[in-house]
Amino acid sequence: MNLTITNQVFMRYCDHNLPKVRQETVMSSEIIAAKNYVELLKQKYQGFEFPAYKLREWFSKSYAVFFDCREADTTDCLQAVLKKRDFEAFAIFFVVKEQSGIYRFMDASFRNLGTETLDHFTARFHSQLESMTKLGVQATGLEYVECVGHSYVESAQ
C-alpha cells in the first residue's frame, strides 16, 4: 500500500477537523508541537483533557501521528517512525462523548504481532479495527466521536 492510499484512508476514516479559530496560523506547518494540537482539541471539545503522560513531543497533521524526535529534522524522524518495525504496540487516541454531553479522552492499544509498521497499522486500524473499537465504546454507553491521533509503544529493552 503506498503513502497516498494511506493518507486517503486516514482522511476518510479519521477526520480530525481542526477548529477554525486558530487553524490558519497552525496549518502552515505539517508537523506541529503536540501540545499545540491538544490545545486545538480542547477548543473544539469543551472539557476535553489529554493526559500529559500520553503526549509525545510532535504531531504530524497529514498522518495524525504523535511522535518523539531528538533530531533537528522532524520530517526525517516522522518517516523513520512510520517505517519502524519493532514497536511493541500501537496506540489510538479518540474522543468519546458521555450521555451528559461531556467529552472525554480514550485510547486503545494493539500489540504489534509481527513486524508491522505504524504507517501500515494506521491504515489497517481504520479499515478493519475501528468498527470494533466503536462497538466496544458504545457497549459502555459512550459515543465514539472521532479518532484524534495514533502513536506507538516502544519495546522495553
For residue range 50-87, list pLDDT tens digits in order. 998 899 999 999 999 999 999 999 999 999 999 999 99
* Listed range (47-51, 62-66, 153-157) with the worst mean pLDDT: 153-157
Of 126, 129, 115, 119, the closest CA to residue 151 belongs to 119
Q: Which residues contact 6 (CB under 8 A, 6 or more apart)?
A: 63, 119, 120, 122, 123
In this structure, are residues 79 and 62 in contact, taking their beta carbons and an 8 Å threshold?
A: no
**pLDDT at residue number 6:** 34
pLDDT value, residue 29? 81
Res 13 pLDDT > 50: no
Mean pLDDT over residues 147-156, rounded?
Answer: 93
Stretch 98-104: mean pLDDT, rounded? 94
Residue for cell digits 506547518?
29
Which grid coordinates belong to 79?
Answer: 518517516
| % the chain with pLDDT above 90 | 71
pTM above 0.85, yes or no: no
In DSSP notation, 69-103 reads: --SS-HHHHHHHHHH----SEEEEEEEEE-TTS-E
Mean residue pLDDT of the chain comes to 84
Instruction: Tell me what pLDDT residue 157 has.
Output: 64
Say how far apart CA 124 and CA 138 lie, in whole Å: 21
